[in-house]
Structure 1
């Protein structure tokens, strides 16, 4: 059953009544790219009382992450992966990567969350670094830095945007691990603009489920011969592990077509 609610801000959105869900379905919630709107994930935590939430990147933070989510810090665990836009501005970068929640970044590691092993791969593939299926041009940040002209460096390191680029070194480091769920910003092959490299990583990790953001679309589809189910999460939307949309994502005027094939 869907219920329509109005927030103090006057915003109205549709969510699934918790009375229609079994308790185990909402132990971990997954938040789509907020792009500055944290009202839905805050509302979802208050309604469903999950053990943890995982945000899928592109925050557009106007203040540090722990301040944006201050009203739910004592109600649930907060985890995240970065998106490509988190490297667009110095302030957005600092408010995420220098926040008091920076240690909750799942990128490049596997963490047990509410009894589930969750692997994270944040950021995006870029031609300058690595665009599968072509071989990587730079396998690591260190390799890029050694080829980076001083005028192109940011804070004496690699360009800011490449802090949210996917490097082969981070990707391949996950291959020897095991997980139940893989969260990514990029999409696997279930989406028209997804990557089989994500499929291959998921198979190496032996996950059963992938949840991703980036494309702002809610859908579910099986890949790898039906062994892995993929759920896309909408822009500022909230879904559970089974892909059930608990709070629908916001319309995206620039992405009206169905991008997954």
Structure 2
């Protein structure tokens, strides 16, 4: 069984408690993790109980510490962004980060299709650590999206929502179609809307996971998290 964990924003007590109680085969953090210290240290007491995977969210590049505690932790290789990994018998595809108008805001055409294209135009004074500005390390580039769409998967995890959410994107519906997924899980919006009326149109079941909430791979709520007022 896989548990999908909504935006933690620096709090992990509920994740640790759920793993200790239910012993899932794996957990997937859906972005905006903002670990207060390296992620492997934050989750040290459950690393021998379950596999830990994640995608990054927009807030994971807010500060130097948000970035390094995730992307430079000992779990850095567990980022699912831009790839498909077999986890607990399911092929899970990941697309981390958000759409930003400066780069690409679907349905518009991308202004800068690739990271290399953006770097060629943004000026070296904007580079961070010799590459992309830190903020844009959580921006979705079209080439990453396009490459992932050539794969096949059972489950899609994204930080942004598909179009069944009022602030979602049809581009993620299309990605789910191309991958051939049965289910999709997202964070970012901090809510848990009923997407069932959209299942037929989408062609897959979609689930939003709340702020600090946890949902299993079948869509069952393990921890309701913090619901919007």
Q: Which of 162, 180, 186 is equivalent to 1:188? A: 162
- 1-side partners of 2:34 and 2:26: how far apart? 21
Structure 1 position 157, deviation (Å): 1.3
Which runs of 4 or more aligned residues in structure 1 lie more than 6 Å from their structure 2 counterparts after TM superposition? none
The equivalent of 1:250 in structure 2 is 226
Q: Does structure 2 conserve the Cα–Cα contact (< 8 Å) formed by 1:148 and 1:158?
A: no
- 1-side partners of 2:194 and 2:84: how far apart? 23
Structure with bigger gyration radius: 1
1:205 aligns with 2:179: yes
The equivalent of 1:101 in structure 2 is 75
The equivalent of 2:206 in structure 1 is 230
The equivalent of 1:24 in structure 2 is none
Q: Does structure 1 conserve the Cα–Cα contact (< 8 Å) formed by 2:187 and 2:210?
A: yes
- 2-side partners of 1:143 and 1:234: how far apart? 35
TM-score, length-normalised on structure 1?
0.85
Q: Does structure 1 conserve the Cα–Cα contact (< 8 Å) formed by 2:55 and 2:95?
A: yes
Structure 1 position 152, deviation (Å): 1.6
TM-score, length-normalised on structure 2?
0.96
- 2-side partners of 1:206 and 1:224: how far apart? 14
Q: Does structure 2 conserve the Cα–Cα contact (< 8 Å) formed by 1:56 and 1:80?
A: yes
Structure 1: tracts of 5 or more residues without a match: 1-26, 257-261
Structure 2: tracts of 5 or more residues without a match: none
- 2-side partners of 1:36 and 1:250: how far apart? 14
Q: RMSD of the TM alignment (CA)?
A: 1.1
Q: Which of 140, 158, 170 is equivalent to 1:166? A: 140
Tell me the alpha carbon deviations over residues 23-50 of structure 1, each in whole angstroms, 9 at most, x when there is no partner: xxxx100100000110111111011110
1:66 aligns with 2:40: yes
The equivalent of 2:107 in structure 1 is 133
Larger helix fraction of residues: 2
- 2-side partners of 1:140 and 1:223: how far apart? 32
- 2-side partners of 1:251 and 1:219: how far apart? 10
- 1-side partners of 2:158 and 2:128: how far apart? 25
**Does the residue aligned with 1:211 lie in a helix, a strand or coil?**
strand
